[in-house]
Amino acid sequence: MKNRPPEPSDDLHLLQNPPDFSLVLGGPLFQLLRRAHLSDDALMMVRQRIMVIALFAWLPLLLLSTLEGHLWGSSGAVPFLKDIEVHIRFLVALPLLIIAELVVHRRMRPLLQQFIERNLIPENAMGRFEAAIASAFRLRNSVLAEVLLIIIVYGIGILIVWRYYIVLDTATWYATPSDGASKLSLAGMWYGYVSLPIFQFMLCRWYFRLFIWARFLWQVSRIDLSLIPTHPDRVGGLGFLANSAYAFAVLATAHGALLAGQLANRIFFLGAALTDFKAVIAILVVFLLCLVIGPLLVFAFQLAQAKRKGLREYGTLAERYVREFDTKWLRGGAPADEALVGSADIQSLADLGNSYEVVRSMRSVPVTKETIFQLAAATLAPIVPLALTMMSLEELLKTLFGVLF
């Protein structure tokens, strides 16, 4: 279905109803879920979506593995029920990707309203702001984009990435090594051509949404924003953008769970150790920080510029005030009947100093250390239990208590 070009009145409607702004309410899959009564306009019915999508990907694998005798006691080195990766992928990571949609939708809806309520968009640039919103919506609703994602999933994700980089180098319930290649079982065919593509499509769809978000922020950053150097959030009034990073915490957890499943299989079935994957874990954390926090860096130039301007202007104002203060109270310029104690001049001097300190401590990125820590913790949380493969639970608890107390 061809998208209708937005009319000017449509853009005005978007600004008057900022809660309607969403990265996830749109696209062919969303419309399909609505017609199947698995979603509504507010992305509710999360349980139904999780049950249908996750079970469609996982349950046939259980049934086919049972029929082929690969459920538990099979000749394969990795029977289905012992394959930790596949269970975490479809029963943990996939549901988290679905839950993340509702979390992101709810937490990011007020963002447009904040841009407007804080008067960050100058009146003469409102047209460009509206155009950026409309462009993001068109891209989000694109049919072509999701078709290309399907092509990428099958052409690269399955035929290359899964076949050569993810498949275990041993006999499993889904494939058996044969003459330098892998022979798929019936369960393996469903796994490789139905279940995995569903998961990879959902994951790639998230990357596409993050691209839309980054592109929108870049377009907004090209506008000469009305930043206030003395704003208490220390980022000129853009502090609310840190909430977008918090919104993606569930998505980060899904990535951590996916990696945890892959590492668990290699630890339990290939004899690897958790310490062998320190670099991989670090790369995942850095990748997600770049993915979520990276788009906010587009405001660095304007924030740095606002800080320099603020230091210059408030420095000039401070110089004028302290010079007059010095002349009045230290050089005999104060009237004889004006008492120093209780004078408003002292409080004004202190307030001016506080304002200058706010400008001086202004950051160039609308992100806090707490934001970075929370994203890293959300990513690592599913991987932490694998530490039990290196020590017993008792030893782990003793170590934790020793660190904490």
pLDDT tens track of the chain, all 405 residues? Answer: 444 444 444 444 444 554 467 888 888 999 899 998 888 887 788 999 999 999 999 999 999 999 988 888 655 568 888 888 899 999 999 999 999 999 998 888 888 788 988 989 998 999 999 899 999 999 999 999 999 999 999 888 777 777 666 666 667 888 877 666 667 889 888 998 999 999 999 999 999 999 999 999 999 999 999 999 999 999 999 999 988 888 999 999 999 999 999 898 888 877 888 888 999 999 999 999 999 999 999 999 999 999 999 999 999 988 898 888 888 777 777 776 677 776 788 888 888 888 889 999 999 899 888 899 999 999 999 998 888 777 665 666 666 566 555
Q: Helices 196-221 and 126-140 sit at what angle, rounded to 10 degrees?
A: 170
The reply to whether 173 falls in a domain is yes
The reply to whether 316 falls in a domain is no
The reply to whether 381 falls in a domain is yes
Tell me the C-alpha to C-alpha distance, in Å, between residue 214 and each of 131, 171, 186.
15, 42, 41
The reply to whether 238 falls in a domain is yes
Domain count, the chain: 1
Determine how β-strand 175-178 pairs with β-strand 181-184: antiparallel
Q: Please spell the DSSP secondary structure of 362-375, one letter per residue.
A: --SSS--HHHHHHH
* Torsion 111-116-121-123 (CA) sign: positive
At a CB cut-off of 8 Å and minimum separation 6, what does 167 contact? 175, 182
The reply to whether 358 falls in a domain is no
The reply to whether 327 falls in a domain is no
C-alpha closest to that of 229 among 136, 303, 127:
303
Q: What is the rounded CA–CA span in Å between residue 96 and residue 223?
A: 35
Angle at Cα 162 formed by Cα 159 and Cα 164, nearest 5°?
A: 85
Q: Please spell the DSSP secondary structure of 199-249, one letter per residue.
A: HHHHHHHHHHHHHHHHHHHHHHHTS-----TT-TTSSTT-GGGHHHHHHTH
**Contact yes or no for 65/71 (Cβ under 8 A):** yes
The reply to whether 18 falls in a domain is yes
pLDDT of residue 181: 63
- Residue span of the structural domain in which 199 resides: 8-305+366-404
The reply to whether 218 falls in a domain is yes
